Chain A
Amino acid sequence: GAGVSQSPSNKVTEKGKDVELRCDPISGHTALYWYRQSLGQGLEFLIYFQGNSAPDKSGLPSDRFSAERTGGSVSTLTIQRTQQEDSAVYLCASSPLASGTDTQYFGPGTRLTVL
């Protein structure tokens, strides 16, 4: 079946611009996660959704970062006024339920480069 998809696969933007990253989870998965993978910091949790609500936003690095999920499906991560330190691979994952035991299925990621 279809896995987690993310778009775009690559995004190059100029410092100060806003960007939107999209994630389509596996159909029927209620939980959706965003992580960031960068050379200096490794893999970091950003936010997760249970349905359309976000019980844990603790990993968002600043108020320039926001995310939403609509219809219990697609999610968008928005970064406003991008900075060079935002350059990273943004990974999305989904799981059937939001629990510590469920396997999270990852998408291929969006590589963001801020010039």
Chain B
Amino acid sequence: AQSVTQLDSQVPVFEEAPVELRCNYSSSVSVYLFWYVQYPNQGLQLLLKYLSGSTLVKGINGFEAEFNKSQTSFHLRKPSVHISDTAEYFCAVSKGGSEKLVFGKGTKLTVNP
């Protein structure tokens, strides 16, 4: 079975600083990888996804993530964060042929002025 580990439950950063949110997964088969963002009192919104091809994936709002098969990681990065990026970020995995998403526990990103 797949599992997803988000190593940091909370990440505080200052505005305009770079940020990396870490995600590791375990699976014995090929997987598809996703990052979702949840703003306060809202549903989840897709930031980006990796299906195949280039290991560097660019998403919305200036975020990007790199798939590393040897390290089974899919870390999310942004070179300069804004106050509006304050939210909870979830890494998720789905297995080819399986429709459900398996989520990590989430990382709360707080951007301070």
A residues near B (Cβ < 8 Å) are: 4, 31, 33, 35, 42-45, 48, 50, 55-56, 59, 91, 93, 98-101, 103-109
Contacts and interface: CB of A to CB of B under 8 A. Distances in A.
Contact of A42 (B32, B41, B46, B105): B105
26 contacts: A4-B43, A35-B103, A42-B105, A43-B92, A43-B103, A45-B100, A48-B99, A50-B99, A56-B98, A56-B100, A91-B43, A100-B32, A100-B94, A100-B95, A100-B97, A100-B98, A101-B49, A101-B51, A103-B49, A104-B101, A106-B44, A106-B45, A107-B43, A108-B41, A108-B42, A108-B43
A98 B45 CA distance: 18
A56 B99 contact: yes
B105 A45 contact: no
Interface string B71-113: 0000000000000000000101011111111111110000000
Interface of B: 31-32, 36, 41-46, 49, 51, 90, 92, 94-106
Given A45-B101, A100-B32, 11 more contacts: A35-B103, A42-B104, A43-B92, A45-B102, A56-B99, A59-B100, A99-B99, A100-B95, A100-B99, A101-B32, A106-B44
A44 B51 CA distance: 22
Contacts of B32: 100-101
Question: Which 4 residue pairs across A and B have the least CB separation, nearest first?
Answer: A106-B43, A43-B103, A100-B94, A106-B44
Contact residues of A: prevailing secondary structure: strand
Contacts of B44: 91, 93, 106
Given A43-B106, A100-B32, A109 B100 contact: no
Contacts of A106: 36, 43-45
Nearest to B46: A103
**Most central of A4, A43, A105, A106 by chain B CB within 10 Å:** A43
A42 B95 contact: no
B90 A43 contact: yes
Nearest to B105: A42
